[in-house]
Amino acid sequence: MTTAFLFPGQGSQSVGMGKELAESYPVAKQTFDEADAALGYKLSQLCFEGPEDQLKLIEITQPAILTVSIAAYRVVQQEAPGLKPSFVAGHSLGEYSAHVAAGTLSFADAVRTVRNRGKYMQTAVPVGVGAMAAILGMPIDQLSVVCSKAGQGEIVSPANINSPDQIVISGSVAAVQRAADLAKERGAKRAIMLQVSAPFHCALMQPAQDELAKDLASLTFSVPKTPVVKNIDGTQTIAADEARAALIHQVTGAVQWVKSMQTLVAAGVDTFIEVGPGKVLCGLMRQIDRSKSCMNVEDKASLQKTISAVSS
């Protein structure tokens, strides 16, 4: 069995996430305590009790998902020491979780960095200026042409290539709306405008990328102990400087999730484990390659189920 651990990104948050892990496993509680200390406020309380509107604030959502993911990862390490990933990958924000798991970045540095990443992304584009839309049932090459035609001097481009059937586009409001309408005209199954606070993973995020680059330049990056598959191009790295550059460029670059999963499948991965809140990445895996098994770890029940499945 060759295993890859996958770490979720924004949108996987829910009130109560991580609470059972923290109550059941001291190593998970310690992870939340570390995050609270690094940030200077009770992130743990927001994860466990909400309120939801605060947990949805991007500068809180990002460190919250990272913390739950690393708490779950550390519990897996402790409860199933034989279950070690041959590769790690994370969706957008999840790439930071992957690097903590790989030993590239310290947990405290990652938590503080993604809090700032959230702030920079939120302030890069005034509210109401940017938009995102999910386009279902249109191949990436056709959708890229649609975006080019719909731009008309404004920005719109593929932002998350999540599966062959689901691609999210991002840019200025009017251009995204034009692209969504044109995609439907040209045969897309659906085009859904998303409720998001900013247009992520497009050129409008350049101010956020510039700010984040300064933060990342000041951090210590170690050589990853486990190969990390990068969002920006779907290739794997075990180089510290390459890891840093990839985290910088993914702010404006598209999340190449399909390529990332194809890289892992080509490397012989047959078992994928989503570590952290939710099952979004397992759902995408079913659309990318149904022949591969995908399990998740987010609480006691899913942990035991996954351990039983991999040891049988």
Closest residue by Cα to residue 92 from 238, 275, 254: 254
228 sits in the region (left: phi over 0; alpha: psi -120 to 50; else beta) called beta
Q: Determine contact, residues 90/9, Cβ cutoff 8 Å.
A: yes
Residues with catalytic function: 92, 201
Count other C-beta atoms under 10 Å from residue 218's C-beta: 8
Domains and CATH numbers, the chain: 3-124+204-311 (3.40.366.10), 130-196 (3.30.70.250)
Predicted TM-score of the model (pTM): 0.97
Q: What whole-number distance in Å separates Cα of residue 61 and Cα of residue 65?
A: 6
Model confidence at 52: pLDDT above 90? yes
Look at residue 23 and tell me whether its pLDDT is greater than 90.
yes
Give the Cα separation of 186 and 142 in Å (integer). Answer: 9
Sheet with strand 293-297: strands edge to edge: 236-237, 228-229, 87-90, 3-7, 271-275, 293-297
Q: Per residue, what are the HEC states of 257-286? A: HHHHHHHHHHCCCCEEEEECCCCHHHHHHH
Sign of CA dihedral 133, 92, 284, 14: negative
Judged against a pLDDT cut of 90, whether residue 66 lies above it is answered with yes
Q: Which of 203, 209, 252 is nearest to 231 (CA)?
A: 252
The per-residue pLDDT for range 83-138, each reduced to its tens digit, is 999 999 999 999 999 999 999 999 999 999 999 999 999 999 998 999 999 999 99
Average pLDDT over residues 33-38: 98
Going by DSSP bridges, is the β-strand pair 166-172/130-136 parallel, antiparallel, or unpaired?
A: antiparallel
How does DSSP classify residue 255?
B
Q: What is the mean pLDDT of the chain?
A: 97
